[in-house]
C-alpha cells in the first residue's frame, strides 16, 4: 500500500454527497466527500459517525432528548454523532470532509427521510 494524498483523492471527483473510500482501518472505512447544501435527516442505529472538516464549514443539526440543536464545525474541527441520534448535515458553501464509520455503513443511515436526487445513497465508492 502506498501513501494516499487526501488532496489528490478529493481532486479526483466532483460529485457532492458521494463519499470515496480512501482506506480501511480494521473494519472501518475512511471516506472523503465534497459536500454543499443539505443532506437529509437520518439515523445510524448501530454506529457513531465521526466527522473531520478538511476545508470549509459543516453544520450538523441534531435531534436529542433535550431538543434540537446545531453544531458548527469550522475547518480542522472534529465531531462524533452518537449512534441512534437523528442528524442532518448541512454545508453553507463548498466543504470537504473526512468521515470514519464501519465498512458498509450507508450514507443515509438505517432510518431516513426521503432521499433527494442530489444525495448519493451509498456505502461509499472506491477511490479511482
Q: Which tens digit of pLDDT belongs to each residue from 22-44?
A: 999 999 999 999 999 999 999 99
Q: The cell 453553507 sits on which residue?
A: 92
Each residue's pLDDT tens digit, 41-92: 999 999 999 999 999 999 999 999 999 999 999 999 999 999 999 999 999 9
Per the CB < 8 A criterion, the answer to whether 124 and 107 are in contact is: yes
The structure's pTM equals: 0.93
Kindly indicate the confidence band of residue 108, based on its pLDDT and cuts at 50, 70 and 90: confident
Q: What is the pLDDT of residue 113?
A: 78
Q: What is the pLDDT of residue 122?
A: 86
| Cα separation, 54 vs 34, whole angstroms | 10
Domains of the chain: residue spans and CATH: 6-112 (2.60.120.10)
Pick the closest to residue 23 from 55, 1, 7 (CA basis). 1
Set of cell numbers at residue 53: 472538516
pLDDT at 110 over 90: no
Q: What is the pLDDT of residue 44?
A: 95
What is the Cα 46 distance to its own chain's centre?
A: 16
Amino acid at each position: 500500500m502506498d501513501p494516499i494524498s487526501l488532496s489528490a483523492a478529493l481532486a479526483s471527483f466532483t460529485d457532492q454527497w458521494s463519499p470515496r473510500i480512501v482506506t480501511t482501518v480494521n473494519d472501518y472505512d475512511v471516506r472523503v466527500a465534497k459536500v454543499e447544501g443539505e443532506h437529509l435527516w437520518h439515523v445510524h442505529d448501530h454506529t457513531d459517525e465521526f466527522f473531520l472538516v478538511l476545508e470549509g464549514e459543516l453544520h450538523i443539526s441534531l435531534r436529542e432528548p433535550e431538543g434540537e440543536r446545531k453544531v458548527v464545525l469550522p475547518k480542522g474541527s472534529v465531531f462524533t454523532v452518537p449512534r441512534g441520534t437523528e442528524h442532518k448535515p448541512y454545508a453553507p458553501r463548498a466543504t470537504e470532509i473526512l468521515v470514519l464509520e464501519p465498512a458498509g455503513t450507508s450514507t443515509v443511515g438505517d432510518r431516513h427521510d426521503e432521499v433527494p436526487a442530489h444525495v448519493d445513497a451509498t456505502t461509499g465508492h472506491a477511490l479511482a
